[in-house]
Amino acid sequence: MSSNPIRPEWRMGGITTSHVEDYLYEMLPVRDEVLTEMEEDATKNDYAIVGPVVARVLYQLAVISKAKRIFEMGSAIGYSTVWWARAVGDGGQVVYTDGDPKRAEKARCYFERAGVTNRIQVRVGDALEFLSEEKNQYDIIFNDVDKIDYPRVFKLAMPRLKSGGLFISDNVLWSGKLRNPNPDAQTKAIAEFNKLIFSSPDLFTTVLPIRDGVAVCMKK
């Protein structure tokens, strides 16, 4: 079992009660050297990553759905990208996107060490622009960009997701701030996004209340 004497920022908290959250993380098997280093890197340098509890869910969903083509929006140092790449297996393809060349270069080094470079296409720039240019459909589109852009992502993702595919989004419970009486722009954007995914006739949507809330939408 892994221990977390210092609570890393990527654990966040605020959704699941702290003692339950601690239990979930304590139960996790120890990650391999590369993933462990990435978690430490994210903690030290304040990189945004989903963390191992959410990452295991992402991996499981990709394997269950037999996903081979995944488009990831907002990849940072590539922590979740590694999990996706391992899930798609040989012949699978994951698109990494991030606007920071330094983070992308760091991600490339981790991909090499993790042995998944040949399964990942690295794109540096605006994830929404990259997705808007896509002509192909994907088995999974993972949304973890700036929260203000979530409603735009919904509109871009739908035509580029295959029937039966998964549209997955992080941070949809936003530390419990969605019921605040005076929400800021990011909170408003997430609230709008949540209404879109639950009201869409093309999606079957659930939200997993782990870490900061993960929306899992299946396209009908």
Domains of the chain: 13-219 (3.40.50.150)
Per the listing, tokens 């060349």 go with: 101
Instruction: Find all residues with CB under 8 Å of 175, minimum gap 6, and list them.
Output: 12, 14, 15, 212
Token pair belonging to 114? 């993790």
Worst-scoring range by mean pLDDT, 16-30, 32-46, 126-140, 145-159? 16-30
Alpha carbon distance 217, 200 (integer Å) = 10
Q: State the maximum Cα–Cα separation within the chain, in Å, rounded to a whole number.
A: 49
DSSP H helical segments within 15-172, as ranges?
18-27, 33-45, 51-64, 79-88, 101-114, 127-132, 150-157
Looking at residue 3, its pLDDT comes to 44
DSSP tag of 9: G
The model's confidence at residue 75, banded by pLDDT at 50, 70 and 90, is very high
Alpha carbon distance 182, 195 (integer Å) = 18
Q: Is 150 in a helix, a strand, or coil?
A: helix
Tell me the per-residue pLDDT of 196-216, one tens digit each, with 9 for 90 and over: 999 999 999 999 999 999 999
What pTM did the predictor assign? 0.94
Give the N- to C-terminal CA distance of the chain in Å, as an integer: 39
Backbone φ and ψ of 51, nearest 5°: 80, 165
**Closest C-alpha to 216, from 24, 57, 78, 50:** 57
The model's confidence at residue 15, banded by pLDDT at 50, 70 and 90, is confident
Alpha carbon distance 84, 54 (integer Å) = 12
Would the pLDDT of 1 be above 50? no
Mean pLDDT in residue range 14-35: 91
Would the pLDDT of 176 be above 70? yes
Token pair belonging to 145? 């960009």
